[in-house]
Structure 1
Amino acid sequence: MDLISELPDPILQHILSFLPIKQIVQATILSKRWSHLWFTFPSFEFDTNFFQFEPNLLETKQSAENKRLQLINFVEQTLKQLKCLRKFTLHTDFPGPNSATVVDQWIDYVLKNGVGELEIVVTVENGKRYNLPQRVFANQSLTVLTVGDCKLCPPFEGLKLLSMKRVSLLGVFAEDEIVKRLVSNCPLIEHIKLNSCLGLRSLWLCETNELITMEVQNNSGLYEIGIEAMNLQAFEFRGQFQPCCINISSCKNLKTLKLSMVAIKDDWFHDCISEFPLLEMLALSYCHMLESLRISSPHLKKFILCGCESVTRVHIDTPCLSVLEFSGDVISFSLNAPALSQANVELSPRIFDNPWFVKQIEFLAHFNHLKVLTLQSRTGKTVTVPQELRETFASPLYGVKHLKLKIIKPLFSPSLKDLVEALLWIAPQPDTITIESGFGKKILKFVYEKATNIAVHHCCCASLPITCWKHSLKELKFENIREDEEINNLKNFFHENAELCCII
């Protein structure tokens, strides 16, 4: 016997857990020792690739189909002999006329084995929906249930899932009453996910007192949802730009709220936010009917505003806010957030002209007190403030110590030297500048003379409370900048503009 086979069962099972399912099957066929492990393996995951075979040049389609049928038979024989099973996952498309019967039998085997986590994503008989057996909803060992591309059918009377804590419905067909019955039959349910479901119209979930998180995403036709869950801490709703009445006002303990592509208006938003005194995380994305936001929240720690094109004014009064992410065009902005330590800003102008750059300078000045600021740009051109404006306005981020620039399309960006020069005007005395793109992450590290060694401010930084990099730089270090041309251009730039001692 080989040395690996002499290892204890738990270690061998851990090794098997890293292998694709087909390789595990091959190992169990070659060795009785591994075959023994197979029947005590705690988790079985079969995906579509497991059952599919592409015939090679020497095989016919019928030969490949026979191999697939052999695998189906192998799985069935294995499930009959299982001794312990924690999780069973099946993702597949069975085209045969008896495919629904096969899946029914497999589900029976794993339910009798006391499976705790069941994940079934199946289409049968040329794309038809598989009807999930009612006996699944009478099983007392299930704690996690994920159903995809299937159909849930009544009745659910008298069925109780007393151990169920997590339910995910993905692309299923299920009407409102079915989902309400399912949830009401899970008294300990903590997590619900409804994604791309059909048949939902007006869904109200009441007395779900143990519910902690709920995700509702891309459910076409859903125009109304209400949740009464006193312990709900996280709610995420992603719509399809269609009106939907959302009632979660009774969820007083909500800490995380994410709304995306929802047709909500200012009044609804402000009324909604006022109901959640414990809110810590708020994310709004692509809510195109919002125009003016007032956010006053004593516990809010993270705020994300992304792609809400109609928003023109934002007032933020949040003493605990530490992280802010913004994506969109320059807007009227008021910020009172003394604890803010980092921000991620992506400005997407419709027109590049001097008036826009003036607005950008004024906008960025709100983040001057931060230690870390990340700017994101498609090409990097949004940070290249025109020279005539640099001579007129003061640098907006003279207090920022770590400035990062993320470029989405680096092939269309200015040179590295031009980007560095532009960023050093925006933040004139940074400790680090990081430029990240598809070509990697390039870093510049700066060391400055102590303030006591600097005699006077120079004219280029007379309007600032600090001396800029040109007159205080002592040492400069490059990291991950490997192209000789870029290094030489940077060295020439700093030698021409700074009174520094050393470049590393």
Structure 2
Amino acid sequence: METRSAKRRRLQIHNHSPVNNTGDDRITDLPDAIIHHILLLLPIKSIIQTSVLSKRWRTLWYTFPDLDFTSIVATTSNLTNNVDFNNILANGNVITRVLSLRDKFSDVRTLRFKACMSFSGLQALIRHAVRLSVQELDIMVENSDVFSFPRSIIRHDCLRVLKMKAFPSFRLPQSRIMRSGFQSLETLSLSFVYLGNQSSLLDMFTDCSFPQLKRLHLESCYNLKHLRVGCRLLEELALNKCCSLQGLEILCHRLMALKVSRCFGGSYGYDTWFQIDAPRLHTLVWVNNLITSKNCLQNLVCLHEATVGFFVSQQDLDADKLVSVSSLLSGLSHAASLTLERPFVEMISKNNPLGAMFFNPFTRLNSLELQTSEVSRLASVLKVCPIINTLIIKINNSYKKERRRNRLSEDPSSSCDWESQMKDVKPLILQRLEVVKIQGFSEYEISLVKFLLQHGKVLQDLILYLDQDNNSRCYEKLKSRIMGFDRCSLDVKLVFH
């Protein structure tokens, strides 16, 4: 007869057999760090629900280091204290209750949430987060009125990342208060900031206030007129929708990426300016900004990629603004890759003085992307890019549709005489051009294609993405016509899409 101990051993062996699907819970036996990593892939509601499985899983929930409440949708019907964990919602009171359960167990590495809450509720929540030594804090708060930045987090030594967005907005404390903390902060993102009378931030973003700051993002800073950024370790800087900005000074010797968009828009009637001194800058994006009165770009010797575009109307341009544009492009002359957006390209093309006085030639430029509505105006731009290897042209189709309706030309191929326009620089600009891509191609770009094929000595690839409005018959006609052009380079490959 089988004894009880023998039977128990037999059942244990059977349960651990690979062919048995009813064995022990293998996941529960994993180390906490591995289970935490697996749980990180789940929404927080599912993570909370695992706490009812056993005492072991309750402990796992209490020690889970990353709390992301952004996957939970808040509704007004659930903004109460009587909340079941199975129906938890992004309410400030609920998040505070969850944090209060962690005081006895472990710290929180990451806390993210979106909530509609009062300022006092936010202060209480932040105090809980500070006690739990939170390292990354990402919050989006909605309130009925403008509230103050929670000061309890300023002196939190463990904080590495702070992202704060508030509706309608929040007020920043004075620079002297900000300088008393944030000694370990590496990433700062502030959105919807109301500055009021504190319209100049000249001594806030310095080494004294943020000695370890590497990434800074400012969005929708209301009434911000003058900004100076001089953090020694800063590597990334992004400014967006700072419409009141009149003066911008960036002095960051380690800055590698800079993006400025939708700024200087509310400064009509004021002299606007910016100064950038960033010898390690690698990527610059300057788009949808109004043209400033003055600018100064210094030491951009490591610049690799630049994108430039302005929000501008032709009647707003005067001689000073044109000089400012010329100065901007001169400062970008070290770029290896350049993208010019459509309004900017057409502004350059329509102003002949620019072509005469313009900027230093782009002697290091390898790749050029031009966005336009008409290729006949690109000659003046190409003249200052003599040694490019890759040319990308993106054509806006709306102009061509209007052109067809008005029947401006019976022979589209004769719309631009590229031979005469490029006569002075033709040997230079075509001596290294190997790849050309034209998106939105139609019959109006025939003359450009013909010019490139006849004079591109080292041309390797000519890729044409045809306008979607062209039917199959038109497509075949264009293709047949292009294939019949003479070619200077015997190695060129024609590709039609």
Shift of 1:35: 3.0
Q: Please tell me whether residue 376 in structure 1 is matched to residue 439 in structure 2.
A: yes
Which 5+ residue runs of structure 2 have no aligned equivalent? 1-23
Letter paired with 2:439: Q
1:164 corresponding residue in structure 2: 185
1:85 corresponding residue in structure 2: 108
* Contact persistence 2:126–2:152 (CA under 8 A): no
* Contact persistence 1:167–1:193 (CA under 8 A): yes
1:114 corresponding residue in structure 2: 133
* Contact persistence 2:443–2:478 (CA under 8 A): no
* Contact persistence 2:199–2:226 (CA under 8 A): yes
**When the two structures are superposed, what TM-score results if normalisation uses the length of structure 2?**
0.70
SS in structure 1 of the partner of residue 291 of structure 2:
coil
1:414 corresponding residue in structure 2: 470
* Contact persistence 1:297–1:317 (CA under 8 A): no
| Pair 337,393 (structure 1): closer, same or farther in 2 beyond 3 Å | closer
* Contact persistence 1:230–1:250 (CA under 8 A): yes
2:16 corresponding residue in structure 1: none
Which of 269, 288, 308 matches 1:261? Answer: 288
Which of 72, 85, 94 matches 1:50? Answer: 72
Q: Please tell me whether residue 196 in structure 1 is matched to residue 196 in structure 2.
A: no
Shift of 1:419: 3.4
Shift of 1:391: 9.4
| Pair 84,374 (structure 1): closer, same or farther in 2 beyond 3 Å | farther
| Pair 31,40 (structure 1): closer, same or farther in 2 beyond 3 Å | same
1:452 corresponding residue in structure 2: none
Q: Please tell me whether residue 346 in structure 1 is matched to residue 391 in structure 2.
A: no
Deviations 1:358-400 (A, max 9, x none): 43866998578544332222xx4366649xx999996576854
| Pair 343,297 (structure 1): closer, same or farther in 2 beyond 3 Å | same
Shift of 1:327: 0.7
* Contact persistence 1:347–1:382 (CA under 8 A): no
**When the two structures are superposed, what TM-score results if normalisation uses the length of structure 1?**
0.69
Deviations 1:193-252 (A, max 9, x none): 1111213122234x4322233211111322222233333333322235444733324444
Cα distance in 1 between the residues matched to 2:491 and 2:303: 40
How many residues align? The count is 417
Cα distance in 1 between the residues matched to 2:58 and 2:252: 47
Cα distance in 2 between the residues matched to 1:116 and 1:166: 11
Cα distance in 1 between the residues matched to 2:453 and 2:460: 17
Letter paired with 1:112: R
2:142 corresponding residue in structure 1: 123
Which of 231, 236, 246 matches 1:208? Answer: 231
Cα distance in 1 between the residues matched to 2:443 and 2:132: 60
Letter paired with 2:193: V
Cα distance in 1 between the residues matched to 2:217 and 2:331: 29
Q: Please tell me whether residue 102 in structure 1 is matched to residue 113 in structure 2.
A: no
Letter paired with 1:116: Q
1:139 corresponding residue in structure 2: 156
Letter paired with 1:138: R
* Contact persistence 1:384–1:419 (CA under 8 A): no
Which of 17, 38, 50 matches 1:15? Answer: 38
> In the TM superposition, what are the counterparts of 1:76-475 in structure 2 within 5 Å?
76-82=96-102, 83-94=106-117, 99-124=118-143, 127-149=144-166, 150-155=169-174, 156-157=176-177, 159-174=180-195, 175-176=198-199, 180-181=203-204, 183=206, 184-205=208-229, 207-240=230-263, 241-243=265-267, 245-264=272-291, 268=294, 272-273=296-297, 275-288=299-312, 289=317, 293=326, 295=330, 299-307=334-342, 308=344, 309-312=346-349, 317-328=361-372, 329=374, 330-331=377-378, 332-335=380-383, 340-348=388-396, 349=399, 351=403, 353=409, 354=411, 358-359=415-416, 369-377=432-440, 380-381=441-442, 385=446, 400-406=459-465, 410=468, 413-416=469-472, 418-419=474-475, 422=478, 426=482, 428=483, 460-461=484-485, 463-466=486-489
Deviations 1:153-179 (A, max 9, x none): 435436122111221111122334568
Cα distance in 1 between the residues matched to 2:135 and 2:79: 36
| Higher mean C-alpha deviation, range 115-124 or range 221-230 | 221-230
What RMSD in Å do the two structures reach over aligned CA positions?
4.1
Cα distance in 1 between the residues matched to 2:255 and 2:216: 11
| Pair 274,146 (structure 1): closer, same or farther in 2 beyond 3 Å | closer
Letter paired with 1:181: M
Shift of 1:31: 4.5
Q: Please tell me whether residue 25 in structure 1 is matched to residue 48 in structure 2.
A: yes
| Pair 390,168 (structure 1): closer, same or farther in 2 beyond 3 Å | closer
Letter paired with 1:310: M
Deviations 1:299-358 (A, max 9, x none): 421111102142215667333322211112423233465763333211345645346764
| Pair 100,347 (structure 1): closer, same or farther in 2 beyond 3 Å | same
SS in structure 2 of the partner of residue 326 of structure 1:
strand
Counting aligned pairs with the same residue, the percent is: 20
Deviations 1:50-102 (A, max 9, x none): 14259xxxxxx5799955895445533331243132221122233xxxx3333
